[in-house]
A = this chain, B = another copy of it.
Amino acid sequence: MTNHALPEAWRRGLYETIARRRDMRAFLPDPIPDETLARILLAAHQAGSVGLSQPWNFLVVENREVRAQVRAHVEAERLRAADTFEKERREKYLSFKLEGILDAPLNLCVTCDQERFGPSVIGRNTIPETAVYSTCCAVQNLWLAARAEGVGVGWVSIMEPAVLRMILGIPERILPVAYLCVGFVQSFPERPIFESKGWLPRLSLHELVFHDRWDERPRPALLRALATSRIDGPQATLAPTTSAEDRAQ
């Protein structure tokens, strides 16, 4: 069998990037060079898409007034969501910085055209949402490329697509999938903030894997591999030694 694995150094680069990617909310105002932004967007455009439909567009939002409108909507939604938490949790929730819309030098709105190339798209018939799934794959590529370039990305999801459409002039048939704050950062935290601040625990991978049917445990050898698997990067929490602690939370 021919071995098509990529060279060890490249593989490590991928795993290190995956492990070090973070959802960022604080940004430096420094502009992102156009060449860097172009590479990040090209990485997104190279994602797989259902039937090669490439359903995405990328709105680079730099105008501060436009971003201020988006931020005002997000802030209203943030406060509205606070009502869903009990008192103690609510105070903690309100203490989190959830977005850097105006701090970052630019925002990116990644959209999905579910009708691109019309009925010629193979694989989109049975599940129309697959176009959205493809768009999310592009976002993940973008996120990883940004991390590799030292650029932070923060996905802001507390907003109504209809409001975003209005602010950005997006047609009705187009779905805004991701609204991202993009900029250089002071530092990337070792662990996701919701994890390090004890909001939610990191789940153990081996508890998320089933075999052949829902809820059936994996074969012992795979279970062992899952429980001991590590990839590089600073995420000590993914090591098996902390899974007991995770379970206790």
- List residues of A whose CB falls within 8 A of some B CB: 1-7, 9-23, 28, 30, 34-35, 37-39, 41-43, 45-48, 50-54, 56-63, 66, 77, 80-81, 84-85, 89, 93, 96, 98, 117, 119-127, 129-130, 132-133, 136-137, 139-141, 143-145, 147-150, 155-161, 168-171, 174, 177-178, 184-188, 192, 194-195, 199-200, 202-203, 205, 208-215, 218-219, 221-222, 224-226, 228-231, 233, 235, 238
Contact of A56 among B35, B140, B171, B208 (CB under 8 A): B208
A-B contact pairs, 16 of them (CB 8 A): A4-B187, A7-B13, A12-B13, A14-B144, A34-B222, A41-B209, A42-B231, A43-B231, A47-B140, A52-B194, A54-B208, A59-B213, A63-B212, A81-B122, A122-B199, A127-B157
Which residues of chain B are near A50, meaning CB under 8 Å?
A: 155, 157
Verify B170–A214 contact, CB threshold 8 A.
yes
Q: Do A60 and B214 form a contact, CB below 8 Å, given A6-B20, A46-B18, A48-B23?
A: no
Q: Is chain A's binding surface mostly helix, strand, loop or mixed?
A: mixed
Contact partners of A120 in chain B: CB under 8 A: 85, 89, 199-200
Q: Which residue of B lies closest to A205 (CB)?
A: B45
Cα separation A124 to B215 with both chains bound (whole Å): 25
User: Is A221 a contact of B34 with CB atoms below 8 Å?
Assistant: yes
Contact B17 A60 (CB under 8 A): no
Contacts of A160 in B (CB 8 A): 126-127
Residue of B nearest to A124 (CB): B157
Give the docked Cα–Cα distance between A21 and B144 (Å).
Answer: 14
Give the docked Cα–Cα distance between A85 and B120 (Å). 7
A189 smallest CB distance to B (angstroms) = 11
